[in-house]
Amino acid sequence: MTGSFRLERLGGWGVTAAEGFLAGATYAGIKGEHAAFKLDLGLLYSEVPAESAGTFTTSRIPGQPVKVSRARIGRPVRAVIVNSGCANVATGEEGLHNALEMTQLAAQKLGIDPMEVLVASTGVIGTQLPMGRIRAAVPRIVLSREGGAEFAKAITTTDSRTKEIAFEVWTDAGSFRIGGAAKGAGMIHPNMATMLAFITTDAAVVPGFLQSSLREAVEATFNQIDIDGDMSTSDTVFLLANGRSGVGPIGPESPLAEAFRSALGEVCLHLAKEIARDGEGARHLIQVTVGGARTLAEARQAARAVASSVSLKAAVYGRDPNWGRVVAALGASGVEVDESRLTIRLGEFTLFREGRPVPFERDAARRYLESPEVEFVVNLNLGSHQASAWASDLTEEYVRLNSVYTT
């Protein structure tokens, strides 16, 4: 039995929308004393122990915080400490020690066990964290229900804006909340490339179901976005469920399972699209939907391949309805394609149908490409599976940003 449910967007809320979560941030000076004043150290706290789930980068050279948090995920946690400005990657034993100390500093402040603290870092690779400044800064953080916005700001690096979302989920068995914050911008690619996301809910959720629901949501959303093809050493998504709403426990057989999965999926989708939209220098969000695939895995792979095409991204920036680059990317995707069945649309314009180019109004298509969101729809006509992927366009501004970003 699946109960009915309804999502209500809670404007202006993020990681602290759910009951019992507090957050805050401060300026520690992690990029150096002379760096522009910007919040760079955030803390998220649950008043009661929360079940935890997480997904991490698949890089063979993961950041030190990834190593620490991966070992703790799946058990109840109370807090997450995060910094921007330094990724704490390729920093050897000293870096590992520093990641552990960050969890100890948070635990001291909060009067909890360090094992109940998760950690994440984002920023430059290969420099050590300025631990003196972090030791001085952690006690200064003020936690509150209103601190979610500061937390969202503290995790950003080259992001042009913060990324937050929250919903109230109304069900027959009462309501619960779910919300989150993320950072992204450069180096975004499938398989959790540099991005951080922190999601909280006050529903009670069975740990195994929490992890499987997160994995499923991440695969359909964060793993389907691309900005520049890089995969980061630091990608992390955390999901904490503290049960404070009194709704649950929700497991795979619960009538609320679908409501929870849907709400989590919406949170991830919103944050993933926000990340793609805010790609460094980006002007457009490109959505690529591939239908008619033989399997879901092939639909996702094909959509990602098209969304990852550097030359297609440059074409979108130039408002050039260059469907040939869609063909090239599909052909190279490794997915089964039968040219004689293939159809490609750009918004309302059919560009290619069953193996043949279709004449279309080029000027109108160019005008469509001025929209902030543009969509390519591919039908492989080989099966019934469908998936989407999202990317930013490639602009001269991206190159400028990435040729001067300090090591």
**Residue numbers 125-164 binding a second copy by CB under 8 A:** 125-127
Residue 158 or 213: the one with the smaller Cβ distance to a second copy is: 158
**Contact (Cβ atoms closer than 8 angstroms) between residue 116 and residue 78:** yes
Q: Give me the 5-44 binding string for a second copy, x by CB under 8 A, dash otherwise.
A: ----------------------------------------
Shortest reach from residue 191's CB to a second copy, in Å: 8
**Contact call for residue 314 and a second copy (CB under 8 A):** yes
Q: How far apart are CA 5 and CA 291, in angstroms?
A: 28
Residue 170 or 368: the one with the smaller Cβ distance to a second copy is: 368
Question: Which residue has tokens 């366009």?
Answer: 393
Residue 335 tokens, joined: 């997915």
The answer to whether residue 350 is catalytic is no
| Cα angle 190, 213, 88; round to 5 | 50
Shortest reach from residue 407's CB to a second copy, in Å: 4
**Contact (Cβ atoms closer than 8 angstroms) between residue 186 and residue 228:** yes
Q: How far apart are CA 335 and CA 226, in angstroms?
A: 18
**Contact call for residue 335 and a second copy (CB under 8 A):** yes
Three-state secondary-structure class, residue 130? coil
**Contact call for residue 399 and a second copy (CB under 8 A):** yes
Q: How far apart are CA 84 and CA 200, in angstroms?
A: 20
What Å distances lie between residue 67 and 74, 239, 348, CA to CA? 14, 17, 46
**Contact call for residue 212 and a second copy (CB under 8 A):** no
Q: How far apart are CA 156 and CA 330, in angstroms?
A: 33
Shortest reach from residue 310's CB to a second copy, in Å: 4
According to CB under 8 A, which residues from 76 to 135 bind a second copy?
Answer: 87, 89-92, 124-127
Q: Give me the 237-276 binding string for a second copy, x by CB under 8 A, dash otherwise.
A: ----------------------------------------
Shortest reach from residue 286's CB to a second copy, in Å: 13
**Contact call for residue 172 and a second copy (CB under 8 A):** no
Shortest reach from residue 71's CB to a second copy, in Å: 17
Residue 124 tokens, joined: 């430059």
**What phi and psi values does residue 21 have, to the nearest 5 degrees?**
-110, 130
Handedness of CA 66, 71, 72, 74 (dihedral sign): positive
Q: How far apart are CA 184 and CA 288, in angstroms?
A: 19
**Contact call for residue 363 and a second copy (CB under 8 A):** no
**Contact call for residue 62 and a second copy (CB under 8 A):** yes
Three-state secondary-structure class, residue 113? coil
**Contact call for residue 230 and a second copy (CB under 8 A):** yes
- Out of 171, 194, 233, 395, pick the active-site residue: 194
Residues in the chain: 407
State which of residues 246, 357, 364, 373 lies at the interface with a second copy (CB under 8 A): 357
Shortest reach from residue 314's CB to a second copy, in Å: 3
Residue 325 identity (one-letter amino acid): R
**Contact call for residue 293 and a second copy (CB under 8 A):** no
**Contact call for residue 321 and a second copy (CB under 8 A):** yes
Q: Active-site residue numbers?
A: 194
